[in-house]
Structure 1
């Protein structure tokens, strides 16, 4: 962990404050998602009894490989309906897309959310006969790494992930998470078993905060040294929110990379 002051850590992890354009970007997400859902109505799978324990499944066809997108929001905001727009570009390549929901902090603990994603991933694996490729943004990148560490999937892409939770203890984000020092260590996949031979692309926006760039670089270096395949890339001129823009383009390098991972699974 860095030796930064509390104000520096707050600035490093408060993405909404760091990205003044985030309301417009998020409004675009919502509008594009509504268009996508109208064109490709998802099947809603239930993996648990709670109202948020569902998966929006956009199917490309029988036997199609599956990409599971785990959304961000610091484990305390948003739901799958914001991200339906991610499905059409992958469907165009014959890839099914699953977007799982989960309960939010502080109503549940972060450990409970990790458990929910274990269950959701198990359901998708059972249905498809093979684990999905995991793509996670921000908090979703953290969850994807947890699942990869445990061997619940073998290929993933983390976009602006958080892998070491200890810096969050000193920020306003922890008001809802309610992590203590022991939990922050226990729930940080940076220190979990490195899944030797697994793939985790560590992607980050080139104009994100130094803390987010450091998180992805450190994860790539640490897991790479342990035997995982962890390429790191900073996408130029993209911030914590616009870093998802390439997912809306079926011809972007990021979409093609995810397609390649899905087809090689």
Structure 2
């Protein structure tokens, strides 16, 4: 069966294909506020750093999504729960949203936030992110100097969730009026078109009920990076859609949390 795209806006639209999609953002904000009330973060610039009791086992980084145009770290605090309960510190970094920033600037801001948190927390660094945040998580381990070697050498795992690994199709969407992507930037900022750093296990994680483009993009990243020598895996989480595929990060014993913190 042939697969082709005739409507790029629909191909990358999640809400219209998820029941009660409009209920998810306010629910996330409510759960995040409740979590922050009992686990107040340390402010690291505009980013949130959640610290466990006692010495941290390492630093987990969760980069939020929203097509690089929406949300803030405080909307996602509850997704720190799983790693935090395991004894890891958790950074939810802030980045300037489009149209105020181009994606290249967001890449730089995320890298700076990770470096700052890495100075405060010893041990391994485990990277994850959702959707646009999954793109940024994968972007951090590209072998182009995005992260300094001293920080990149500490990365124990990268788990991009429902990541956008190849940005070129987004030029054809209406959202590009805000993102302002052009071909040179997509070539520079698409993880699937770049070389990953060696020796970092990468798991492309995506929901089985997601839009075909998100499954294709996750498979693309795992396949291309495997061909460049990376140790990759693709997990298609049965029945999960784009808005609930990240719920498992709230559970310290979930397969998703374990893959992030204990990739071996």
The answer as to whether partners of 2:56 and 2:88 remain within 8 angstroms in 1 is no
Pick the aligned partner of 1:113 from 106, 121, 125: 106
What CA distance in whole angstroms lies between the structure 2 residues aligned with 1:178 and 1:130? 38
What CA distance in whole angstroms lies between the structure 1 residues aligned with 2:186 and 2:85? 39
Q: Encode CA deviations 1:162-197: one digit per residue, 9 max, x unaligned.
A: 010011011122121011122222211111122222
Range moving further from structure 2, 94-103 or 252-261: 252-261
Alignment partner of 1:11 is 2:10: yes
Alignment partner of 1:200 is 2:199: no
What CA distance in whole angstroms lies between the structure 1 residues aligned with 2:126 and 2:221? 18
Residue 128 (structure 1) shift: 2.3
The answer as to whether partners of 1:145 and 1:158 remain within 8 angstroms in 2 is yes
The answer as to whether partners of 2:63 and 2:129 remain within 8 angstroms in 1 is yes
Pick the aligned partner of 2:60 from 63, 67, 88: 67
**Could you tell me the TM-score, scaled by structure 1's length?**
0.90
Identify the residue that residue 213 of structure 1 maps to in structure 2: 215
What CA distance in whole angstroms lies between the structure 2 residues aligned with 1:252 and 1:200? 17
Alignment partner of 1:57 is 2:49: yes
**Which secondary structure state, in structure 2, belongs to the residue aligned with residue 243 of structure 1?**
coil
**Could you tell me the TM-score, scaled by structure 2's length?**
0.90
| Unaligned 5+ runs, structure 2 | none
C-alpha RMSD of the superposition: 1.8
Range moving further from structure 2, 36-45 or 60-69: 60-69
Identify the residue that residue 161 of structure 1 maps to in structure 2: 163
Q: Encode CA deviations 1:65-111: one digit per residue, 9 max, x unaligned.
A: 11010000010100101111112222221111110011100011111
What CA distance in whole angstroms lies between the structure 1 residues aligned with 2:249 and 2:228? 29
The answer as to whether partners of 1:6 and 1:170 remain within 8 angstroms in 2 is no
Aligned length: 253
1:128-167 maps to which residues of 2 (within 5 A)?
128-130=121-123, 132-150=125-143, 152=147, 153=152, 154=155, 155-167=157-169
Residue 4 (structure 1) shift: 4.0
What CA distance in whole angstroms lies between the structure 2 residues aligned with 1:71 and 1:130? 23
The answer as to whether partners of 1:124 and 1:132 remain within 8 angstroms in 2 is no
Residue 21 (structure 1) shift: 2.3
**Which secondary structure state, in structure 1, belongs to the residue aligned with residue 87 of structure 2?**
coil
| Unaligned 5+ runs, structure 1 | 47-53
Identify the residue that residue 37 of structure 2 maps to in structure 1: 38
What CA distance in whole angstroms lies between the structure 1 residues aligned with 2:120 and 2:243? 32
